[in-house]
Amino acid sequence: MRGDSNAGPATDLIFQIECLRAERVLLFRFDAWDGLPPAELNRHMSLVLGFNGEVGFPIPTTRDGTHLLGRLALTERIASSVRDARYFMIDAPNDMNEAYHGGEAPALKRLTRECWERTVG
């Protein structure tokens, strides 16, 4: 997922997300800034839906140094919420204490749909 910029097109690649179909899991990879305090690095990530954070799904997260790995188990509720969402953010450790904005995130919507449909259907 690329960060969304209010000034125009998407900015840098921030998260790598893939589907583990056999487990019904979205796998989030994130490399945090190495200057963050350990308390901030130990925070779990969350998938946040809606520009004002109307819905949030905690992502169980492990870390190795500054490399974070989150595993979001797909449920019908999560899959349908992602399908219907118009704006995405991912809350992850950073020095601004603010979620990363992903905007409409069509690739995340497509990945979630394909992962859910191929697992269930």
Cα-based distances in Å from 89 to 37, 45, 49:
22, 10, 6
Please report the pLDDT score of residue 97 as a whole number. 85
Reduce the secondary structure of 42-101 to three states and give it as a string: CCCEEEEECCCCCEEEEECEEEECCEEEEEEECCHHHHHHHHHCCCEEEECCCCCCCCEE
Cα-based distances in Å from 76 to 13, 17, 88:
28, 19, 18
When pLDDT is averaged across residues 36-42 and rounded to a whole number, the result is 89
When pLDDT is averaged across residues 22-36 and rounded to a whole number, the result is 93
How far, in Å, CA of 105 to CA of 31, rounded? 19
pTM of the model: 0.85
How far, in Å, CA of 78 to CA of 62, rounded? 21
Please report the pLDDT score of residue 2 as a whole number. 47
User: Quick one: tokens of 22?
Assistant: 């056999």
Q: What is the pLDDT of residues 75-109, one digit of tens each?
A: 999 999 999 999 999 999 988 888 999 899 999 99
When pLDDT is averaged across residues 27-48 and rounded to a whole number, the result is 92
Please report the pLDDT score of residue 85 as a whole number. 96
